[in-house]
Amino acid sequence: MARVVDARAMAEFLGGDVRQGSSALNRAADLFADSGDLVRTITPRSTAGHALVFAGHAAEGLRLIDAALDLARTLGHAEGQAYALWHRAEALTELGRVDEAAADSAEALSIATRIGHRGWTATAWRATGLAARRRGDLDEALRAFGNSLALADNLGLFASWAAARIALVLVEYGKPGEAKESADRALSEGPPLGHYEARWAAAEVAAALGDTGARSLARLAVEFMAEGGVAQGRDRLLTLAGQ
């Protein structure tokens, strides 16, 4: 039952239903814990916390992620540690605890590199870039997102995330023409979960280019977020939408 619930919950989450995905993933984690399969508890518990970060509840999400990380450390499960540290870094960045986020992303990167896990190395670079962007270091953010994208071949979600973030940074650099290619790529890859950031990036690029359709793109992105229960980027998109 735990495996079935976990698979369905992850499908909901990747399909963009962050609100329901978080609840279902946490239930799957509880079922794995009740059945004594502690290793398999780590991923859904941490992912449930990550979903809450997307939903704008980073403090609540951090509690779930911390529980997953503590379990992974207790079990000596390196892959689980890298995974939860990535999520923890994102939660901490949202909470403005950037130094802690940078430390966690560095630890995630070290572990993922050591065990040779390409996916979690890509996501560790994502977390590094998010922390760098939050502290205003655009050069480091662009480097980190570029490294994430370089590792994301055949990893559609991670490629979409990285390309979207590259586009957002390039807009801040005042290079919307270069950013458009990355924003287009972000929209063309991965599952719906990645397209929240991709749509945000597309709206930013359109606004920076003076595209008359920018407001419409921003409004559609806000509607898309509302359907899935996502809050990240919403305030900025409302501004772009003129609301």
The answer as to whether 6 is a domain residue is no
The answer as to whether 183 is a domain residue is yes
The answer as to whether 23 is a domain residue is no
Number of domains in the chain: 1
Q: Which residue pairs from 25-30 have beta carbons closer than 8 angstroms and sit at least 24 positions apart in sequence?
A: 25/51, 26/64, 28/2, 29/68
Domain enclosing residue 180, as ranges:
159-243
The answer to whether 73 touches 88, Cβ cutoff 8 Å, is no
Position 30 scores a pLDDT of 96
The answer as to whether 109 is a domain residue is no
Residue-wise pLDDT tens digits, 85-143: 999 999 999 999 999 999 999 999 999 999 999 999 999 999 999 999 999 999 999 99
The answer as to whether 192 is a domain residue is yes
The answer as to whether 188 is a domain residue is yes
The answer as to whether 62 is a domain residue is no
Angle between helices 138-150 and 156-172 (to 10 degrees): 160
> How would you class 7 by CB atoms within 10 Å of its CB: exposed for 0-12, middle for 13-18, buried for 19 or more?
exposed
The answer as to whether 116 is a domain residue is no
Position 243 scores a pLDDT of 75
C-alpha separations of 69 from 78, 86, 183 in Å = 10, 10, 33
pTM of the model: 0.96
Low-confidence spans in the chain with pLDDT less than 50: none
